[in-house]
A and B are shown apart, each in its own frame.
Chain A
Amino acid sequence: MSDVQPTITVDARGVACPGPLTSLIKAYRKAKNGDIIEVLATDAGFKADVEAWVKRTGNELLSLTEENGVIKALIKVTAR
Chain B
Amino acid sequence: MSKGLGIVLYSGKADTLMLAGVLAQTAANYDMPVRIFVTSFATPYFMKEKPEPRIPKEFADWAQKMFEGMAKMNAPSWYDMLKEAKELGDVKIMVCSMTMEAMGFSKDQVDPIVDDVVGAATFLAEMTDYEVIFV
Q: Which residues of A are interface residues toward B (Cβ below 8 A)?
A: 14-19, 21-22, 25-26, 53, 56
In the bound complex, how far is the Cα of B75 from the Cα of A26, in angstroms? 18
Interfacial chain A residues near B109, Cβ < 8 Å: none
Task: List 27 interface pairs A-B (beta carbons < 8 Å), by A numbering.
Answer: A14-B74, A15-B74, A16-B70, A16-B73, A16-B74, A16-B75, A16-B76, A17-B22, A18-B22, A18-B25, A18-B26, A18-B29, A18-B81, A19-B76, A21-B26, A21-B29, A22-B25, A22-B28, A22-B29, A22-B84, A22-B88, A25-B29, A25-B88, A26-B88, A53-B29, A53-B30, A56-B30
Q: Which residues of B are interface residues toward A (Cβ below 8 A)?
A: 22, 25-26, 28-30, 70, 73-76, 81, 84, 88
In the bound complex, how far is the Cα of B42 from the Cα of A80, in angstroms? 38
Q: Which 3 A-B pairs have the closest CB atoms?
A: A16-B75, A16-B73, A18-B26
Across the A-B interface, how many residue pairs have beta carbons closer than 8 Å?
A: 27
Interfacial chain B residues near A22, Cβ < 8 Å: 25, 28-29, 84, 88
Interfacial chain A residues near B28, Cβ < 8 Å: 22
In the bound complex, how far is the Cα of B84 from the Cα of A26, in angstroms? 11
CB nearest neighbor in B for A21: B29
Query: What is the CB-to-nearest-CB distance from A36 to chain B, in angstroms, rounded to a whole number?
Result: 20
In the bound complex, how far is the Cα of B70 from the Cα of A18, in angstroms? 13
Interfacial chain A residues near B76, Cβ < 8 Å: 16, 19
Interfacial chain A residues near B73, Cβ < 8 Å: 16
- Best-buried of A14, A22, A26, A56 by chain B (most CB within 10 Å): A22
CB nearest neighbor in B for A52: B30
CB nearest neighbor in A for B73: A16
Query: What is the CB-to-nearest-CB distance from B70 to chain A, in angstroms, rounded to a whole number?
Result: 7
Query: What is the CB-to-nearest-CB distance from A22 to chain B, in angstroms, rounded to a whole number?
Result: 6
In the bound complex, how far is the Cα of B88 from the Cα of A22, in angstroms? 8
In the bound complex, how far is the Cα of B74 from the Cα of A16, in angstroms? 7
In the bound complex, how far is the Cα of B76 from the Cα of A25, in angstroms? 18
In the bound complex, how far is the Cα of B32 from the Cα of A56, in angstroms? 12
Interfacial chain B residues near A53, Cβ < 8 Å: 29-30
